[in-house]
Amino acid sequence: MARRILITGASIAGITTAWWLGRHGYEVTVVERAPGFRDGGQNVDVRGVGREVLRRMGLEQAALDGGTGEIGTAWVDEDGEVAAEFLTDATTGDGPTAEMEILRGDLAHLLYEAARHHAGFRFGDSIAEVENGRDGAQVTFESGRREAFDLVIVAEGVGSATRDRVFPGENDPRWMDMTIAYFTIPRTPDDDRKWRWYHAAGGRSVSLRPDPHGTTRAMLTIQKPPEGEQELCVEDQKAWLRERFADVGWEAPRVLAGMAGTENFYFDVLRQVRMKRWSNGRVVLTGDAAWCVTPLGGVGATLAVTGGHVLAGELIRTPDLAEALAAYEAAMRPMVDQAQGVPKIAPRLMNPHSKLGIHLLHGVLNVASRPMLRGLTTKMFARDQKEPDLSPYPQG
């Protein structure tokens, strides 16, 4: 049985796994490249089986209490007039905005505060080399330390260097033709509790979302094939965005001005991680390092906490390591495959390139938001997931 565990990446998936393993007697070390815990990030929601995992951890109510306060989604025109609107269903908690809507950093911090009592966290270090042996993994860190572990769990995210080192050439990314930036800007009295989403010609959009910290979360997106902009330095990425959004109306000038001074700027070109296997000897992947579905999949945080619980649960209940890792993959694959099934045309349909296309999108959304169809539409946003059965795993 694997008892000494290294988790690389203090992500939602990594911290969740650390909580479960540490609570059940494993010696767990979490190593994180960043010098300290990383706050910030975009809004995420947790639904269905993910909420059950948080409930088992005793964290469900705290996650609800720490939510963004967002009550729904409104598509607006250049004057800020609402073209279509969906409010969170008071009965089911479903819709484009879920009942449990929380900032990624706030959810991760909630998990971290619980997990640090069961696991050791080492910030400012990362893996330089892994010797994947039959009886364990010898890990050399960038700091020069060298240690042996029974299992290395990689939870570093979509661009995981450790994954690419241990599984060379095995990631076959699916590019989703969307460039996206998230950051925080100062809140104004006109900002409300809805996710306000404005589309401009050329597949561009600007959106504003509430957060519980007295600021506003801004997002800029462009629907286009990738051209390497994710490799630019931060200042060049900001310049790239300023050039492409200079002629966009609504709140774009305010967002671009706020972008200059933001301290939590995130920029990426969306791509799914496609791996034929998630384990290789004494190394296993979880979270976005294994299966990034991108925000287009809508269940990234749910998959992260669920995958962490399932991986830990299989390790706890199955003495044979190879069997445990195979069972973990078998349990999670159906949900991951479903979440990754977003059609490539979906980003184009939801981000029209012409004014006529935007007008048609608003018209379709307006009809779908009417009382007669709202229940059906809400169910589409919260479609049934092929969720793993959690009954074999620990309750807390």
Of the candidate ranges 35-39, 82-86, 119-123, 146-150, the one whose mean pLDDT is the lowest? 35-39
CA–CA gap between residue 364 and residue 324 (Å, rounded): 47
247 within some domain: no
Contacts of residue 54, Cβ cutoff 8 Å, sequence gap at least 6:
46, 60, 63, 305
Other beta carbons within 10 Å of 289? 30
Q: Is residue 382 part of a domain?
A: no
Q: Point out the least confidently predicted range of 195-204, 346-355, 358-367, 376-385.
A: 376-385
Q: Cβ distance 198 to 205 under 8 Å?
A: yes
The answer to the question of residue 264 being in a domain is: no
The tokens of 14 are what?
Answer: 């990594």
B/e letters for 297-318, b = 16+ CB within 10 Å, e = fewer, are bbbbbbbbbbbbbbbbbbbbeb
307 and 332 Cβ atoms separated by less than 8 Å = yes
Residue 226 lies inside a defined structural domain of this protein:
no
- Within-domain flag for 80: no
The amino acid present at 333, given as its one-letter code, is R
Residue 379 in any domain: the answer is: no
Tell me if 215 is assigned to some domain. Answer: no
**Does residue 38 belong to any structural domain of this protein?**
yes
Q: In terms of DSSP H, where are the helices of the chain?
A: 12-23, 49-56, 60-65, 104-115, 161-166, 234-245, 252-261, 288-291, 300-317, 321-339, 346-350, 355-368, 371-381
Q: How many CB atoms lie within 10 A of CB 266?
A: 16
In the chain, the percentage of residues whose pLDDT exceeds 70 is 93
Beta-carbon contacts of residue 237 (< 8 Å; ≥ 6 apart): 181, 229, 230, 265, 267
| pLDDT at position 150 | 96
φ, ψ of residue 79 to 5 degrees: the values are -90, 0
pLDDT at 97: 66
- Read off the CATH number of the domain in which 128 is found: 3.50.50.60
Pairing status of strand 4-8 against strand 27-32: parallel
Number of domains in the chain: 1
Quote the domain boundaries for residue 307.
Answer: 4-69+101-172+272-339
Quick one: average pLDDT of 134-153? Answer: 96
226: closest CA among 164, 271, 292?
Answer: 271
CA dihedral 259, 263, 269, 274 (to 10 degrees): -160
pLDDT above 70 (res 381): no
The tokens describing 245, both together, are 């959004």
Mean pLDDT of 77-88: 90
Q: What is the pLDDT of residues 152-187, one digit of tens each?
A: 999 999 999 999 999 999 999 999 999 999 999 999
pLDDT in tens, 316-360: 999 999 999 999 999 999 999 999 998 888 889 899 999 999 999
Enter the DSSP assignment of 294.
Answer: -
